[in-house]
Amino acid sequence: MALQHTRSCSFPCGVQEAAIVKVDESLLSESAPSSLSSVADRIKGLQNLYESIDDLLLLPHIQRSIAHECPEKYVDEMMEGYIMLLDACAAAKDVVSVAKRDAQELLSGVRRRTHAEAASAYLSSRRKLRKMVQKASFLRKKQNLGKGYEMRPVEKLLMDAKSAILGMISSLFFYMMGTKAHSCGSLVAKIMESRRVEETEFTKVDAALMSFMHNGDDGVKFDDVLKSMECSIQMVEDGLECLFRRLIKTRVVLLNILSH
């Protein structure tokens, strides 16, 4: 289960609402997903998580706590963190959009029988995708939110939710590049330097393309592989767009709380 929470606004006396909304460990993982569908499911879980957070932020005593009791340094870091999340989602959307376009153009080339040109363009774009990942500035930023400060439940929830999104995007990039996630080192280094290739929908297309070009394998089968990947990419792209809008909404709510 991606999200554990109680959506009612009626809580037992003495229970802190932020403690009832819990981020499942599966949302915090940076391990490579098993498929694009699992990425889409994880994004949906994050959307639900932020919907629950928005519900909490409507409660007057939660608003008072954030506006008057959080240290100024933490508030500044938290709001800067939302800019980082929006940048991260935008970078992920760009990468996924390019991947979808590549799949569509390769599929069109196969159908038009301009195989060589389409394959060359596809493989060239795959290399450009790696450079896009490398340039993603949020991947290099050290996360210190809440360091040296004992956070209350709502603050811990916001920090965990941020980590969950960055972890999801990291996992997505690992998956798209066909590299295996490791527990240490910078994400850029892990993606750009890893030589261990994992089988993903992208590596399957790469292999099917090579077989199709060199061995003249069944073009219909290759067509099916491409169409399947395109549909999966579309689900991820739609999910990222919804998550991006949700993050904007949450940030606006927080800004309104802090301005009063």
Domain boundaries, the chain: 23-258
Has residue 14 got a pLDDT over 60? Answer: no
Per-residue pLDDT tens over the stretch 86-138: 999 999 999 999 989 888 888 887 777 666 777 778 778 888 888 777 777 56
Q: What is the largest CA-CA distance in the chain?
A: 70
Q: How many Cβ atoms from other residues are within 10 Å of residue 108's Cβ?
A: 12
DSSP letters along 20-73, please?
HSEE-HHHH--SPPSSHHHHHHHHHHHHHHHHHHHHHHTSHHHHHIIIIIS-HH
Highest mean pLDDT among 111-115, 169-173, 181-185, 194-198: 169-173
Q: Which residues fall within 8 angstroms of residue 95, CB to CB, at 6 or more apart?
A: 129, 132, 133, 173, 176
Does residue 53 register a pLDDT over 50?
Answer: yes
Adjacent-strand bridge partners of 3: 23
For the chain, percent helix, then strand, then coil, each to nearest 5?
Answer: 75, 0, 25
**pTM listed for this prediction:** 0.79
pLDDT band at 40 (very low <50, low <70, confident <90, very high): very high
* Tens digit of each residue's pLDDT (9 = 90 or more) over 187-228: 444 434 444 456 788 878 877 777 777 766 555 677 788 888
Closest-CA residue to 172 (of 40, 51, 28, 82): 40
pLDDT band, residue 170 (cuts 50/70/90): confident
Closest CA to 212 of 201, 225, 200, 227: 225
Which burial class, exposed, middle or buried, applies to 216 when counting CB atoms under 10 A from its CB (0-12, 13-18, 19+)? exposed
Contact 146, 159 (CB under 8 A): yes
